Structure 1
Amino acid sequence: MQPFDLALIWAFIIGFGVIMYVLMDGFDLGVGILFPFAPDEEARDTMMNSVAPVWDGNETWLVLGGAGLLAAFPLVYSILLPALYIGVFLLLAGLIFRGVAFEFRFKARTSKYLWNWAFAGGSTIAAFAQGAVVGSYIQGFETANGVYVGGALDWLTPFTVVTGLGMLAGYALLGVTWLILKTEGELQAWAYKLATPLLLAVLVIFGVISLWTPFVDEQVLERWFSGISIIWVLPLLTLLFAWQIWRSVRNRSEAMPFVATMGLFISTYLSLLVSRWPYVVPPNYTLWDAASAYNSQLFLLLGLLFVIPIVLVYTAWTYWVFRGKVKAGAGYH
């Protein structure tokens, strides 16, 4: 008998990495989604300046979560990559377009509008693909003997389109509350104006997904409706955070809308995990079925225990250095 359940520890680490990526990269993807609707070109410059110092560091969590998943749960990779090949390709292509736009937009003159669309398009595609991948995970995967046997487009269904739209709306809300926190003047007023309609869109789409999800799979239906359960605290928390967003926007708070939006994402994420726990490749394979050898997990865990604190420290230091407001035409102050 092994002294520690390393599969459970790794599940926590990867789950932590995923939510950190969603929160950290979500707001700058949200800024990109909002880019075409900005008041003017100066506002777009300020919007991009607000995330320019931190966007690439935010993606560290995606690399950490992906590498950890490959090392600790190789069966997940062997099934999910064939199942989600096109969706993952779109996700990475969107992130590449967005990254290139960061580097070239500030140097461009006549072609600046093209990089505006690359930034907005890459952010939108990446966000939608993430939502569709989440929807595919909720649906489950057709497998036989540890191999994916479904089609290349099984991930794209009406349900995953709705989850993709939900992610777009959620990231846009995260982006607009980031702009409330980091900007001032006309741009901040524009962000305040957008926050409430975006919150309403998020609640409507998340409500549709919540009502639809139990009927996608019988296991989810049984998990949520087999009797009164403590897990119903999570949807109530989601509504509480939504109310706090509305209230803080109405009161013209600057930090609270962003903090409450992160809380809304966390409570929704926990609801998703509870719905599918302990399946990492639903509906057949649990995290223990998919785990790599104990010694392999232990060896990799020892290295990761050094990496995660370093990532947390330099992330915190970066946000501390760039903690002020972004001034139009002048960057951070």
Structure 2
Amino acid sequence: MTLDLPLIWAGLIAFAVLAYVVLDGFDLGVGILFPLVQGEANKDEMMNSVAPVWDGNETWLVLGGGGLFAVFPLAYSIIMPALYAPIIIMLLALVFRGVAFEFRWKTRRGQFLWDWAFAFGSTVAAFAQGVALGALVQGIKVEGRAYAGGWWDWLTTFSLFTGAALVVGYALLGATWLILKTEDHVQRRAYTIAFWAAPLTLAMIGVVSLWTPFLHPLYVARWFGWPNILLAIPVPLLVLAAAYILLKGLTERRETSPFLAALSLFVLSFIGIGISFYPNIVPHSVTIWDAAAPDNSLSFLLVGAVVLVPLILGYTGYSYWVFRGKVKAVGGYH
């Protein structure tokens, strides 16, 4: 049996991107919420909750971006010129927050500057990711296997809305993570934030879901054509189930179910994007197979991925296991 290597690699890269979104999403969310929590001890507690895992979470971003370059060079050569601006802004913002992680502990007089750098970097990175996603969903102009659009094609009402939606969604992830990992004042504040972030996130998911089919006729066929609708209809039903579990968990002051439900909303939204895109990797013109590197290259790289991906999953799981439980402002996890 011949393996469909482009499809396998598309699945691996999609998994890497999803892993980045759900893992780095909550620690970006913690940064977004930083200005909404008062008191240095409380901010220390928030940062301690993600300090052991935040840099490992970003491994998946490197894997996804590097994999796209190596495995789907045509897609990389089209997508990058179309999205240079938001991607560069995102990377610079991630540098801001990464530096803030280290420097805010080194000074007391200037700590407030690094607090704002952490919050600013997290918010801008989340917004830029959402803008890039919106620009990708609305489609990229391609002529002769090259990007044919302009410098500002990524900047539209839809992409700005998806940018704002991702900021709110990450804030929800951050709030539910703090509910899970903290106690006392920070946890109570996180519940309060989650109560407004949850319905706002759900509303924005609804708006994007209703807006997307109007961007291109292909999306209508993907979601409402026969027999595609049989595969697509479970997604909104599962979103409603996750929304119910999320709101019920917040109302009943549960600690674990809100975080898991918020993660589920992101996973389901990602699946929805996959349904809209497939079999294209560059909407709406370049398929997975058209963009793939030669099979010899894909086979060679797959050997490395078979070793590398389980290792990343292993040390990621181990780090979360070691740093399980609640966190304190002083002394870290206990």
Partner in structure 2 of residue 277 of structure 1: 278
Gaps of 5+ in 2: none
* Counterpart Cα distance in 1 of 2:79 and 2:290: 15
The residue type paired with residue 252 of structure 1 is R
The residue type paired with residue 187 of structure 2 is Q
Partner in structure 2 of residue 53 of structure 1: 52
Secondary structure class of the residue paired with 2:281: strand
| 8 Å CA contact 1:31, 1:176 repeated in 2 | yes
The residue type paired with residue 258 of structure 1 is F
Q: Shift in Å at residue 328 of structure 1? A: 2.6
Residue identity over aligned pairs, in percent, reads 52
Partner in structure 1 of residue 80 of structure 2: 81
Partner in structure 1 of residue 160 of structure 2: 161
* Counterpart Cα distance in 1 of 2:165 and 2:274: 17
* Counterpart Cα distance in 1 of 2:194 and 2:7: 38
* Counterpart Cα distance in 1 of 2:20 and 2:268: 15
* Counterpart Cα distance in 1 of 2:97 and 2:329: 21
Secondary structure class of the residue paired with 1:31: helix
Q: TM-score scaled by structure 2?
A: 0.98
* Counterpart Cα distance in 2 of 1:289 and 1:58: 31
| 8 Å CA contact 2:175, 2:190 repeated in 1 | yes
Q: Shift in Å at residue 225 of structure 1? A: 2.5
Q: How does 1:212-231 map onto structure 2 within 5 Å?
A: 212-227=211-226, 228-231=229-232
Partner in structure 2 of residue 296 of structure 1: 297
Displaced runs of 4+ in structure 1, greater than 4 A? none
Q: Shift in Å at residue 137 of structure 1? A: 1.2
Instruction: Give a deviation string over 1:133-167, Cα, whole Å, max 9, x none.
Output: 11111111011011101111111100000100110
Partner in structure 1 of residue 31 of structure 2: 32
- Residue 240 in structure 1 maps to residue 224 in structure 2: no
Secondary structure class of the residue paired with 1:103: helix
Partner in structure 2 of residue 69 of structure 1: 68
* Counterpart Cα distance in 1 of 2:311 and 2:196: 38
Q: Shift in Å at residue 236 of structure 1? A: 1.2
Secondary structure class of the residue paired with 2:233: helix
The residue type paired with residue 42 of structure 1 is A
Instruction: Give a deviation string over 1:65-114, Cα, whole Å, max 9, x none.
Output: 11111111001110011110001001101110010000100111111111
* Counterpart Cα distance in 2 of 1:218 and 1:158: 19
Partner in structure 1 of residue 260 of structure 2: 259
* Counterpart Cα distance in 1 of 2:279 and 2:251: 40
Secondary structure class of the residue paired with 2:293: coil
- Residue 175 in structure 1 maps to residue 174 in structure 2: yes
Q: Shift in Å at residue 13 of structure 1? A: 0.4
Secondary structure class of the residue paired with 1:229: helix
* Counterpart Cα distance in 1 of 2:132 and 2:212: 14
Partner in structure 2 of residue 96 of structure 1: 95
Secondary structure class of the residue paired with 2:33: helix
The residue type paired with residue 31 of structure 1 is V
Partner in structure 2 of residue 325 of structure 1: 326
Secondary structure class of the residue paired with 1:114: helix
Q: Shift in Å at residue 229 of structure 1? A: 2.8
| 8 Å CA contact 2:223, 2:275 repeated in 1 | no
Secondary structure class of the residue paired with 1:252: coil
Partner in structure 2 of residue 309 of structure 1: 310
* Counterpart Cα distance in 2 of 1:300 and 1:276: 24
Q: Shift in Å at residue 275 of structure 1? A: 0.9
* Counterpart Cα distance in 1 of 2:231 and 2:51: 41
Q: What's the C-alpha RMSD, in Å, of the aligned pairs?
A: 1.0
Q: TM-score scaled by structure 1?
A: 0.98
Secondary structure class of the residue paired with 2:179: helix
Number of aligned residues: 332
The residue type paired with residue 73 of structure 2 is P
Moved more, 319-328 or 24-33: 319-328
* Counterpart Cα distance in 1 of 2:283 and 2:82: 12
The residue type paired with residue 170 of structure 1 is G
| 8 Å CA contact 1:39, 1:187 repeated in 2 | no
* Counterpart Cα distance in 2 of 1:328 and 1:4: 51
